[in-house]
Amino acid sequence: MGHPFPIREIARQAGLSEATVDRVLNGRGGVRESTAQEVHRAIADLDRQRTQVRLVGRTFMVDIVMQAPERFTTAIRAALEAELPSLHPAVLRSRFHFRETGPVGELVRILDRIARRGSQGVILKAPDVPEVTAAVSRLEAAGIPVVTLVTDLPASARLAYVGIDDRAAGATAAYLMGQWLGERPGNILTSLSSGFFRNEEEREMGFRSAMRARHPERTLVEIAEGQGLDATQYDLVRAALERDPDIRAVYSIGGGNIATLKAFDDLGRECAVFVAHDLDHDNTRLLRAHRLSAVLHHDLRQDVREACHTVMRAHGALPPAGPSLPSAIQVVTPYNMPPQATAV
Protein backbone atom coordinates (compact mmCIF):
# COMPACT_ATOMS: atom_id res chain seq x y z
CA MET A 1 0.00 0.00 0.00
CA GLY A 2 1.30 3.49 -0.84
CA HIS A 3 2.21 5.86 1.98
CA PRO A 4 4.67 8.70 2.57
CA PHE A 5 6.03 7.52 5.94
CA PRO A 6 9.50 6.09 6.64
CA ILE A 7 9.62 2.56 8.05
CA ARG A 8 11.09 3.85 11.31
CA GLU A 9 8.04 6.14 11.83
CA ILE A 10 5.62 3.30 11.16
CA ALA A 11 7.57 1.02 13.49
CA ARG A 12 7.47 3.62 16.24
CA GLN A 13 3.75 4.20 15.79
CA ALA A 14 3.00 0.47 15.81
CA GLY A 15 5.43 -0.38 18.59
CA LEU A 16 7.10 -3.00 16.39
CA SER A 17 10.59 -3.53 15.01
CA GLU A 18 11.57 -1.99 11.69
CA ALA A 19 12.31 -5.48 10.36
CA THR A 20 8.75 -6.62 11.14
CA VAL A 21 7.26 -3.56 9.46
CA ASP A 22 9.47 -4.11 6.43
CA ARG A 23 8.27 -7.73 6.13
CA VAL A 24 4.64 -6.64 6.27
CA LEU A 25 5.01 -3.83 3.75
CA ASN A 26 6.89 -6.00 1.29
CA GLY A 27 4.73 -9.08 1.75
CA ARG A 28 7.60 -11.33 2.79
CA GLY A 29 5.50 -13.49 5.10
CA GLY A 30 6.39 -14.90 8.49
CA VAL A 31 4.20 -12.35 10.28
CA ARG A 32 0.93 -13.01 12.10
CA GLU A 33 -2.19 -11.47 10.60
CA SER A 34 -2.81 -9.52 13.81
CA THR A 35 0.68 -8.00 13.54
CA ALA A 36 0.08 -7.05 9.91
CA GLN A 37 -3.16 -5.35 10.99
CA GLU A 38 -1.20 -3.36 13.62
CA VAL A 39 1.11 -2.08 10.88
CA HIS A 40 -1.80 -0.98 8.69
CA ARG A 41 -3.53 0.67 11.66
CA ALA A 42 -0.30 2.52 12.43
CA ILE A 43 -0.16 3.87 8.87
CA ALA A 44 -3.79 5.00 9.15
CA ASP A 45 -3.04 6.72 12.47
CA LEU A 46 0.00 8.45 10.98
CA ASP A 47 -2.10 9.63 8.06
CA ARG A 48 -4.68 11.18 10.41
CA GLN A 49 -1.88 12.76 12.45
CA ARG A 50 0.02 13.88 9.34
CA THR A 51 0.27 17.53 10.44
CA GLN A 52 1.87 16.49 13.73
CA VAL A 53 4.36 14.17 12.04
CA ARG A 54 5.71 17.10 10.00
CA LEU A 55 6.04 19.52 12.91
CA VAL A 56 9.39 20.17 14.53
CA GLY A 57 9.48 20.23 18.32
CA ARG A 58 9.75 18.03 21.37
CA THR A 59 7.87 14.83 20.57
CA PHE A 60 5.73 12.89 23.03
CA MET A 61 4.45 9.45 22.09
CA VAL A 62 1.37 8.71 24.20
CA ASP A 63 -0.58 5.45 24.34
CA ILE A 64 -4.38 5.64 24.65
CA VAL A 65 -5.68 2.43 26.25
CA MET A 66 -9.43 2.03 26.64
CA GLN A 67 -12.06 -0.60 27.25
CA ALA A 68 -15.28 0.96 25.97
CA PRO A 69 -17.89 0.57 23.21
CA GLU A 70 -16.78 1.64 19.75
CA ARG A 71 -19.07 4.68 19.73
CA PHE A 72 -17.20 6.10 22.76
CA THR A 73 -13.66 5.31 21.61
CA THR A 74 -14.49 6.91 18.25
CA ALA A 75 -15.48 10.08 20.10
CA ILE A 76 -12.25 9.99 22.14
CA ARG A 77 -10.10 9.49 19.03
CA ALA A 78 -11.81 12.41 17.29
CA ALA A 79 -11.44 14.65 20.35
CA LEU A 80 -7.76 13.86 20.74
CA GLU A 81 -6.87 14.27 17.08
CA ALA A 82 -8.74 17.59 17.00
CA GLU A 83 -6.61 18.79 19.93
CA LEU A 84 -3.20 17.70 18.62
CA PRO A 85 -2.44 20.87 16.60
CA SER A 86 -3.17 23.06 19.65
CA LEU A 87 -0.29 21.47 21.56
CA HIS A 88 2.33 23.07 19.24
CA PRO A 89 5.29 23.69 19.60
CA ALA A 90 5.33 20.32 21.36
CA VAL A 91 4.44 17.41 19.12
CA LEU A 92 2.16 14.77 20.61
CA ARG A 93 1.68 11.53 18.73
CA SER A 94 -0.76 8.85 19.84
CA ARG A 95 -1.07 5.09 19.60
CA PHE A 96 -4.54 3.65 20.19
CA HIS A 97 -5.35 0.40 21.99
CA PHE A 98 -9.13 0.06 22.00
CA ARG A 99 -11.25 -2.97 23.00
CA GLU A 100 -14.97 -3.21 23.63
CA THR A 101 -14.81 -6.08 26.10
CA GLY A 102 -12.75 -9.13 26.95
CA PRO A 103 -10.75 -10.73 29.78
CA VAL A 104 -8.85 -8.34 32.02
CA GLY A 105 -5.70 -10.32 31.26
CA GLU A 106 -5.71 -8.99 27.69
CA LEU A 107 -5.80 -5.42 28.95
CA VAL A 108 -2.96 -6.13 31.38
CA ARG A 109 -0.87 -7.60 28.55
CA ILE A 110 -1.32 -4.38 26.56
CA LEU A 111 -0.17 -2.28 29.53
CA ASP A 112 2.81 -4.54 30.21
CA ARG A 113 3.82 -4.42 26.57
CA ILE A 114 3.81 -0.62 26.73
CA ALA A 115 5.94 -0.76 29.90
CA ARG A 116 8.51 -2.94 28.13
CA ARG A 117 8.81 -0.95 24.90
CA GLY A 118 8.47 2.52 26.44
CA SER A 119 6.13 5.49 26.13
CA GLN A 120 5.97 9.10 27.28
CA GLY A 121 2.60 8.48 28.89
CA VAL A 122 -0.55 6.37 29.04
CA ILE A 123 -4.10 7.74 29.03
CA LEU A 124 -6.22 4.94 30.47
CA LYS A 125 -9.88 3.97 30.76
CA ALA A 126 -10.04 0.58 32.45
CA PRO A 127 -11.93 -1.44 35.08
CA ASP A 128 -10.96 -0.81 38.68
CA VAL A 129 -9.61 -4.28 39.46
CA PRO A 130 -6.40 -5.37 41.25
CA GLU A 131 -4.75 -6.71 38.09
CA VAL A 132 -5.03 -3.32 36.34
CA THR A 133 -3.88 -1.48 39.47
CA ALA A 134 -0.77 -3.67 39.56
CA ALA A 135 -0.09 -3.03 35.85
CA VAL A 136 -0.28 0.72 36.45
CA SER A 137 2.33 0.32 39.21
CA ARG A 138 4.62 -1.41 36.72
CA LEU A 139 4.18 1.45 34.26
CA GLU A 140 5.01 3.97 36.98
CA ALA A 141 8.10 1.96 37.93
CA ALA A 142 9.17 2.11 34.27
CA GLY A 143 8.94 5.91 34.39
CA ILE A 144 5.72 6.11 32.35
CA PRO A 145 3.09 8.48 33.79
CA VAL A 146 -0.50 7.24 33.71
CA VAL A 147 -3.53 9.54 33.55
CA THR A 148 -6.94 7.96 34.06
CA LEU A 149 -9.66 9.40 31.85
CA VAL A 150 -13.44 9.26 32.46
CA THR A 151 -13.13 6.55 35.12
CA ASP A 152 -10.57 6.51 37.92
CA LEU A 153 -8.28 3.97 39.56
CA PRO A 154 -7.86 5.77 42.91
CA ALA A 155 -5.82 3.02 44.60
CA SER A 156 -3.30 2.88 41.75
CA ALA A 157 -0.07 4.78 41.11
CA ARG A 158 -1.73 6.87 38.40
CA LEU A 159 -0.53 10.46 38.18
CA ALA A 160 -3.95 12.12 37.88
CA TYR A 161 -7.60 11.60 37.03
CA VAL A 162 -9.37 13.71 34.42
CA GLY A 163 -13.17 13.66 34.22
CA ILE A 164 -16.36 14.66 35.95
CA ASP A 165 -17.44 14.27 39.58
CA ASP A 166 -19.46 11.12 38.97
CA ARG A 167 -21.37 11.20 42.26
CA ALA A 168 -22.53 14.72 41.44
CA ALA A 169 -23.55 13.51 37.97
CA GLY A 170 -25.62 10.69 39.45
CA ALA A 171 -27.29 13.10 41.89
CA THR A 172 -28.03 15.47 38.98
CA ALA A 173 -29.71 12.61 37.10
CA ALA A 174 -31.83 11.86 40.19
CA TYR A 175 -32.88 15.50 40.46
CA LEU A 176 -33.94 15.62 36.82
CA MET A 177 -35.71 12.28 37.09
CA GLY A 178 -37.70 13.39 40.12
CA GLN A 179 -38.68 16.72 38.55
CA TRP A 180 -39.83 15.17 35.28
CA LEU A 181 -41.66 12.15 36.71
CA GLY A 182 -43.45 14.36 39.18
CA GLU A 183 -46.39 12.58 40.78
CA ARG A 184 -46.65 9.90 38.12
CA PRO A 185 -46.16 6.39 39.52
CA GLY A 186 -43.47 4.09 38.18
CA ASN A 187 -40.20 2.37 38.90
CA ILE A 188 -36.82 3.44 37.46
CA LEU A 189 -34.44 1.16 35.59
CA THR A 190 -30.76 1.88 36.26
CA SER A 191 -28.39 0.40 33.70
CA LEU A 192 -24.63 -0.10 34.16
CA SER A 193 -22.29 -1.50 31.55
CA SER A 194 -20.17 -3.13 34.28
CA GLY A 195 -19.85 -2.98 38.03
CA PHE A 196 -16.05 -2.82 37.70
CA PHE A 197 -15.84 0.71 36.30
CA ARG A 198 -15.38 3.22 39.11
CA ASN A 199 -17.21 6.03 37.29
CA GLU A 200 -20.36 3.94 36.85
CA GLU A 201 -20.28 2.80 40.46
CA GLU A 202 -19.94 6.42 41.63
CA ARG A 203 -22.79 7.59 39.38
CA GLU A 204 -25.03 4.81 40.66
CA MET A 205 -24.24 5.68 44.29
CA GLY A 206 -24.94 9.37 43.70
CA PHE A 207 -28.22 8.54 41.97
CA ARG A 208 -29.40 6.14 44.68
CA SER A 209 -28.46 8.51 47.48
CA ALA A 210 -30.33 11.45 45.98
CA MET A 211 -33.37 9.34 45.07
CA ARG A 212 -33.50 7.87 48.57
CA ALA A 213 -33.40 11.36 50.09
CA ARG A 214 -35.86 13.04 47.72
CA HIS A 215 -38.08 10.25 46.42
CA PRO A 216 -37.95 7.26 48.79
CA GLU A 217 -41.18 5.90 47.33
CA ARG A 218 -39.52 5.11 44.00
CA THR A 219 -38.23 1.58 43.38
CA LEU A 220 -34.93 1.31 41.50
CA VAL A 221 -34.39 -1.77 39.33
CA GLU A 222 -30.73 -2.40 38.43
CA ILE A 223 -29.27 -4.26 35.47
CA ALA A 224 -25.53 -4.58 34.80
CA GLU A 225 -22.84 -6.27 32.72
CA GLY A 226 -24.32 -5.37 29.32
CA GLN A 227 -20.91 -3.81 28.51
CA GLY A 228 -22.76 -0.95 26.80
CA LEU A 229 -23.22 -3.19 23.74
CA ASP A 230 -26.59 -3.27 22.02
CA ALA A 231 -26.84 -7.07 21.63
CA THR A 232 -26.39 -7.85 25.32
CA GLN A 233 -28.17 -4.71 26.54
CA TYR A 234 -31.39 -5.57 24.69
CA ASP A 235 -31.73 -8.94 26.38
CA LEU A 236 -31.07 -7.50 29.85
CA VAL A 237 -33.57 -4.66 29.43
CA ARG A 238 -36.27 -6.82 27.93
CA ALA A 239 -35.98 -9.36 30.75
CA ALA A 240 -36.21 -6.57 33.34
CA LEU A 241 -39.30 -5.09 31.68
CA GLU A 242 -40.98 -8.50 31.53
CA ARG A 243 -40.29 -9.04 35.24
CA ASP A 244 -41.45 -5.60 36.32
CA PRO A 245 -44.50 -4.06 34.61
CA ASP A 246 -44.08 -0.83 36.63
CA ILE A 247 -40.78 0.36 35.09
CA ARG A 248 -41.52 3.75 33.51
CA ALA A 249 -38.14 5.51 33.35
CA VAL A 250 -34.44 4.85 32.72
CA TYR A 251 -31.19 6.21 34.07
CA SER A 252 -28.60 4.86 31.63
CA ILE A 253 -25.19 4.94 33.30
CA GLY A 254 -23.34 2.72 30.86
CA GLY A 255 -24.91 3.16 27.41
CA GLY A 256 -26.56 0.81 24.94
CA ASN A 257 -29.49 3.19 24.67
CA ILE A 258 -30.69 2.23 21.20
CA ALA A 259 -31.15 -1.32 22.44
CA THR A 260 -32.84 -0.13 25.63
CA LEU A 261 -35.42 1.87 23.71
CA LYS A 262 -35.98 -1.01 21.28
CA ALA A 263 -36.83 -3.28 24.20
CA PHE A 264 -39.43 -0.76 25.39
CA ASP A 265 -40.83 -0.43 21.86
CA ASP A 266 -41.00 -4.18 21.22
CA LEU A 267 -43.01 -4.69 24.41
CA GLY A 268 -45.27 -1.73 23.70
CA ARG A 269 -44.06 0.04 26.84
CA GLU A 270 -43.64 3.79 27.35
CA CYS A 271 -40.39 5.25 28.68
CA ALA A 272 -41.59 8.49 30.25
CA VAL A 273 -38.15 9.84 31.26
CA PHE A 274 -34.75 8.74 29.95
CA VAL A 275 -31.53 10.32 31.24
CA ALA A 276 -28.24 9.19 29.66
CA HIS A 277 -24.54 10.09 29.57
CA ASP A 278 -22.27 11.41 26.79
CA LEU A 279 -23.08 12.96 23.43
CA ASP A 280 -21.75 10.16 21.26
CA HIS A 281 -23.24 9.55 17.80
CA ASP A 282 -26.04 7.30 19.13
CA ASN A 283 -27.12 9.63 21.90
CA THR A 284 -26.95 12.69 19.66
CA ARG A 285 -29.38 11.10 17.21
CA LEU A 286 -31.67 9.85 19.99
CA LEU A 287 -31.70 13.25 21.68
CA ARG A 288 -32.47 15.04 18.43
CA ALA A 289 -35.39 12.62 17.90
CA HIS A 290 -36.64 13.36 21.45
CA ARG A 291 -36.17 9.73 22.48
CA LEU A 292 -33.92 10.86 25.35
CA SER A 293 -35.03 13.45 27.90
CA ALA A 294 -31.51 14.74 28.60
CA VAL A 295 -27.86 13.76 28.26
CA LEU A 296 -25.30 14.53 30.97
CA HIS A 297 -22.26 15.53 28.97
CA HIS A 298 -18.75 16.85 29.46
CA ASP A 299 -16.35 18.34 26.95
CA LEU A 300 -14.17 15.45 25.75
CA ARG A 301 -11.80 17.78 23.90
CA GLN A 302 -11.16 19.70 27.11
CA ASP A 303 -10.62 16.42 28.98
CA VAL A 304 -8.13 14.97 26.51
CA ARG A 305 -6.32 18.32 26.34
CA GLU A 306 -5.94 18.30 30.12
CA ALA A 307 -4.78 14.68 30.06
CA CYS A 308 -2.12 15.53 27.45
CA HIS A 309 -1.00 18.59 29.42
CA THR A 310 -0.67 16.43 32.54
CA VAL A 311 1.64 14.04 30.67
CA MET A 312 3.69 16.96 29.34
CA ARG A 313 4.00 18.46 32.84
CA ALA A 314 5.31 15.12 34.10
CA HIS A 315 8.20 15.53 31.64
CA GLY A 316 8.83 19.17 32.51
CA ALA A 317 7.52 20.47 29.18
CA LEU A 318 4.93 22.69 30.90
CA PRO A 319 5.11 24.56 34.21
CA PRO A 320 3.61 22.81 37.25
CA ALA A 321 -0.07 23.34 37.99
CA GLY A 322 -2.34 22.58 40.90
CA PRO A 323 -4.75 19.65 40.95
CA SER A 324 -7.23 19.83 38.08
CA LEU A 325 -10.85 20.48 38.93
CA PRO A 326 -13.55 18.03 37.82
CA SER A 327 -14.94 18.66 34.35
CA ALA A 328 -18.15 20.66 34.17
CA ILE A 329 -21.33 18.58 33.91
CA GLN A 330 -23.56 19.84 31.11
CA VAL A 331 -27.28 19.01 31.03
CA VAL A 332 -28.03 18.81 27.30
CA THR A 333 -31.56 18.71 25.90
CA PRO A 334 -32.73 18.76 22.26
CA TYR A 335 -32.79 22.56 22.51
CA ASN A 336 -29.26 23.35 23.73
CA MET A 337 -27.08 20.86 21.87
CA PRO A 338 -23.46 21.99 21.38
CA PRO A 339 -22.49 22.99 17.82
CA GLN A 340 -20.34 19.88 17.27
CA ALA A 341 -23.32 17.66 18.16
CA THR A 342 -25.73 19.37 15.79
CA ALA A 343 -23.42 18.45 12.90
CA VAL A 344 -23.70 14.70 13.62
Amino acid (one-letter) located at 218: R
pLDDT exceeds cutoff 70 at 53: no
What confidence score (pLDDT) does residue 258 get? 97
- Domain 166-297: assigned CATH number: 3.40.50.2300
Task: Note the pTM of the prediction, 2 decimals.
Answer: 0.81
Do residues 252 and 275 lie in contact, with contact meaning Cβ atoms separated by under 8 Å?
A: yes
SS3 121: strand
Confidence of residue 56 (pLDDT cuts 50, 70, 90): very low
pLDDT exceeds cutoff 70 at 49: no
Distances (CA, A) of 59 to 52, 62, 117, 135, 253: 9, 10, 16, 25, 37
Tell me what percent of the residues of the chain surpass a pLDDT of 90: 68
Mean pLDDT of 246-250: 98
pLDDT exceeds cutoff 90 at 334: yes
Burial (CB count within 10 angstroms: exposed 0-12, middle 13-18, buried 19+), residue 209: middle
Give domain limits for the chain: 7-55, 59-161+300-325, 166-297
pLDDT in tens, 265-290: 999 999 999 999 999 999 999 999 99
What confidence score (pLDDT) does residue 91 get? 79
- How many other β-carbons are positioned within 10 Å of the β-carbon of residue 30? 8
The angle, 0 to 180 degrees and rounded to 10, between the axes of the packed helices 104-117 and 130-141 is 0
Domain 59-161+300-325 has CATH 3.40.50.2300: yes
Long-range contacts of the stretch 127-134 (C-beta < 8 A, 24+):
127/67, 127/194, 127/196, 127/197, 128/152, 128/153, 128/154, 128/155, 128/196, 128/197, 128/198, 128/201, 129/104, 129/196, 131/104, 131/105, 132/104, 132/107, 132/108, 132/156, 134/108
Fold agreement (59-161+300-325, 166-297): yes
Dmax over CA atoms of the chain, in Å, equals: 70
Mean pLDDT of 258-264: 97
- Domain 7-55: assigned CATH number: 1.10.260
Mean pLDDT of the chain: 90
Least confident of 45-49, 65-69, 316-320: 45-49
What confidence score (pLDDT) does residue 140 get? 96
Mean pLDDT of 232-241: 96
pLDDT in tens, 141-193: 999 999 999 999 999 999 999 999 999 999 999 999 999 999 999 999 999 99
pLDDT exceeds cutoff 80 at 262: yes
